[in-house]
Amino acid sequence: MTFNEWRTPRNLLKVSVLVALLTIALKGLAWWITDSVALLSDAMESFVNLASALFALHMVTVAARPADDGHPYGHHKAEYFSAGFEGILIVGAALGIVISAAERLFNPQPLVQLDVGILLSVLSSILNGALAVVMLRSAKQYRSAALDGDARHLLTDVWTSAGVVVGLIGAALTGWIWLDAVVAIGVALNILREGGRLIWRASQSLMDEAVEPEVLATIQAVLDGFAHSRENADIIRFDHVSTRRAGARCFVDMHMHMPAQWTLGRAAALRGNVELALLDAVPGLVATIQLLPSDVEAHLVIAPQPDLRGD
């Protein structure tokens, strides 16, 4: 098995769990040695990394389950729950960091052995950064929301650690030990912003967002190729094209108009060719194509919702 074949979302999330355990040990040791609240805040975020990776691993497993009677369209949206859950954990960790840092801001404590603590923090950041880069590439390849969310959280952790290191160096050079608490609060605000972004993105994805513009352009190019081909020019057309995403799976619905005198077999054969071309252009795409005569227009009618308030 090659490295590219190995780096599936499940395998990388398993590695993420192991890396989270290692970084907890490194950052926890750094805090214990230095008594730095900034390093404590960094270690707390690593616990969030661990919980997030475990939950993401479970959700990726659920998302991979085949469709069943209760979920005829599959379980692909499970990955969005992972990203939202991760965002909630990040927000909780940020609030905990603020509480710890606020107390230390008004009651500064001396910092010791900062050189060792900083070295341990840098080592953990290198591990997180390298894993995040690999995960982001795989998330794009497999269209995995869970993997993407975990990778972006790891990158946030890297920037958090970088801020902590800079702040601690500043405290050591100036003697302003209150900088330790200020840096911790800055770290909390940064991860709070990232947590909010993850929650927002997960909520939007759960509401059946359309596919990305570049994917839609690929779909349209395939349809234009059939509509303008020499065999079908001016006799077939596509309309009411709508798309949505559900985890790694993309869906497209459309109407395909053709001459009324065509046999059902000929129409179905062309539809099959269109479906195969779309799947080849966008792997994992599920296309639903309704066949209509050229002189028939179909319109989507949304029925009004009943008034349940009563008189």
**What pLDDT is recorded for position 305?**
46
CB atoms within 10 A of CB 260: 10
User: What CATH number was assigned to the domain covering residues 213-293?
Assistant: 3.30.70.1350
Which residue pairs, CB below 8 angstroms and at least 24 apart, start in 110-116?
Answer: 110/35, 110/177, 111/34, 111/35, 111/36, 111/168, 111/171, 111/172, 111/177, 111/180, 112/33, 112/34, 112/35, 113/33, 113/34, 114/34, 114/36, 114/168, 114/169, 114/171, 114/172, 116/30, 116/33, 116/34
Question: Is 70 exceeded by the pLDDT of residue 301?
Answer: no
Determine the average pLDDT of the residues in 183-207: 74
Architecture of domain 3-206: Up-down Bundle (1.20)
| Residue 221 pLDDT grade (very low, low, confident, very high; cuts 50, 70, 90) | very high
Helix 213-227 crosses helix 264-281 at what angle (to 10 degrees)? 140
Mind listing the pLDDT tens digit for each residue in 103-136?
Answer: 667 777 676 677 788 888 889 889 888 988 888 8
> What is the distance between the alpha carbons of residues 160 and 194, in angstroms, rounded to a whole number?
11
Of 4-8, 61-65, 255-259, which range is least confident? 4-8
Cα–Cα distance measured from residue 167 to residue 160, given in angstroms and rounded to the nearest whole number: 11
Domain boundaries, the chain: 3-206, 213-293
* Top-ranked range on mean pLDDT: pick from 76-85, 87-96, 288-297: 288-297
Tokens representing residue 95 in the block: 């609030």
Per-residue pLDDT, 298: 65
For the cut 60, the answer to whether the pLDDT of residue 76 exceeds it is yes
